Structure 1
Amino acid sequence: MASFHLTFDLEFFGFLPAGTTTTGFFWVYARAIAATFFFLAGVSLWLGHGGGIRWRAFGRRLAMILGGAALVSAATYAADPSTFVFFGILHSIAAASVAGLLFLRLPAAVTLAAALAAYAAPQFLRTGAFDTPWLAWLGLTTYGIRSVDFEPFLPWVAPLLAGIATAKIAARSGLFAALRRHPPSGAIARALGWAGRHSLAVYLVHQPVLMALVWAFTRIVGAG
């Protein structure tokens, strides 16, 4: 994510050609990163609540994600109201996590089938009935959405459901038990563990820091 945002910042300040991050490799790269976020959120949801929903912990986590989403919306609205983030990756992860609760106790095959259906839904269910700002978050409008980050519920709930299903399969195969018996060690493992435990803070802070650094660079050498 940081590498993509650094590329975006370099494009924004003119060091890379316009459209670099919205076409070709970086277009695919951005979606692969987002899919990984959702997938890991699904794995985490099952690890935390697969044995029974811990409502207080879930509510606390959901509140943190929604708070982060609100900060992103407010900051991007202040920067440019015409393209502000009204349903970005944090908003979508929050909604998908609530939906994911329904699949925690269902068989992995059912959850995977639901993931495939969610992925395919925008290809078949788009209709003018969803062409209203209040339903745009579903991802079924017949027109494109103008926003610097739009990750609609459909199809993005799909990788989260896939993460839940994969976690179920991994648990049944004994993978998680093996990892608990032989946890990774070393500085890299500790750094990754810290980043994982503070992923929301890392997500919220890294882009302003990167943009500030690129801006400072432009003050020294000039814009691209």
Structure 2
Amino acid sequence: MTPHASRLPSVDIARGVALIGMVVFHFTFDLEMFGHLAPGTITNPYWSGFARLVAGSFVFLAGLSLILAHSDGFRARAFWRGTGLVALAALAVTVATYIAMPHMFVFFGILHIIALSRVLGLAFLRVPVWGLVTCGALVWALPYLLQFEAFNARALAWIGFAETLPLSMDLEPIFPWFGPFLLGMAAAHLLRPWLGRWRSEGGAMGRALAFAGRHSLPIYLVHQPLLIGAMWVFAQL
């Protein structure tokens, strides 16, 4: 979900597929919120697992894109511009959700973890694949092994060691979610030769997915207001 991260068609198409999964999950969330699905639908194992898969794919692709974008040297201006855009979008999501639903606002969601992971990822740009995989696995596993009551409050829950996570519409703490970012960085090193050879977007479907992937940040920001607005209109009818 990082703007200007990589213009390789394969990465844009993968991000476009992830966007479809995101829209499907949020549409299901909205159906439940408006009473069209049974309460607890999105918290059943299937939908919660699907949500984790979708979120993880965005974080993974962000890590992959970081390596691809700076494989020929660190491009500071492009990096800070892209990271700044994601951070501003994250702040906008926090403000908007706090106004709309203060009891479950997004204080550290998918955009927050991607923005912070991009900054943290700078320390891993020259780490070899085995180191990235090891660190990624550790970051992913630690919050399932170590949990502390002191991390339950929102002020610390974004780190990821809470025994009970505070209520939020979208919460992806550093631990474990920086893990798939590091794994994406490792995958970039392994897949870079193959990704570089795939230069075609394919047919109409591939072009549509690649277009969506190139504009994933604005699509992320507008899709929920559009879905909720359309569902509200439908409810009135």
Q: Give the TM-score normalised by the residue count of structure 2.
A: 0.87
Distance in 2, matches of 1:140 and 1:52, equals 35
1:62 equivalent to 2:83? Answer yes
Given candidates 153, 171, 177, the residue that maps to 1:156 is 177
Distance in 2, matches of 1:108 and 1:135, equals 30
Distance in 1, matches of 2:180 and 2:155, equals 24
Given candidates 188, 210, 213, the residue that maps to 2:227 is 210
The count of residues paired between Structure 1 and Structure 2 equals: 216
Q: Deviations over 1:59-94 (max 9, x none)?
A: 111111111111111111001212111001100111
| 1:177 maps to amino acid | G
Give, in angstroms, the shift of residue 129 of structure 1: 4.8
Of the two structures, which has the highest relative contact order with CA contacts closer than 8 Å and spacing of 6 or more? 2
Q: Deviations over 1:192-219 (max 9, x none)?
A: 2211111100111111111111111111
Given candidates 122, 135, 141, the residue that maps to 2:156 is 135
Q: Which 4+ residue blocks in structure 1 deviate beyond 6 angstroms?
A: none
Distance in 2, matches of 1:145 and 1:52, equals 40
| 2:27 maps to amino acid | L
SS of 2:35's equivalent in the other structure is: coil
The answer (yes or no) to whether the contact 2:60–2:184 under 8 Å persists in 1 is yes
Determine which structure has more spread, i.e. the larger CA radius of gyration. 1
Given candidates 166, 176, 189, the residue that maps to 2:195 is 176
Distance in 2, matches of 1:123 and 1:217, equals 42
1:196 equivalent to 2:204? Answer no
Q: Which moves more between the two structures, 185-194 or 50-59?
A: 185-194
SS of 1:165's equivalent in the other structure is: helix
Gaps of 5+ in 1: none
Q: Give the TM-score normalised by the residue count of structure 1.
A: 0.92
1:146 equivalent to 2:146? Answer no
1:83 equivalent to 2:104? Answer yes
The answer (yes or no) to whether the contact 1:50–1:105 under 8 Å persists in 2 is no
For 2:26, the equivalent position in structure 1 comes to: 5
Gaps of 5+ in 2: 1-21
Q: Deviations over 1:72-127 (max 9, x none)?
A: 11111001212111001100111111111222211111100001000111023322
Q: Deviations over 1:141-191 (max 9, x none)?
A: 2332111111111100111111110010112xx2023214xx233322221
For 2:48, the equivalent position in structure 1 comes to: 27
Distance in 2, matches of 1:142 and 1:9, equals 28
For 1:115-134, list aligned pairs within 5 A: 115-134=136-155
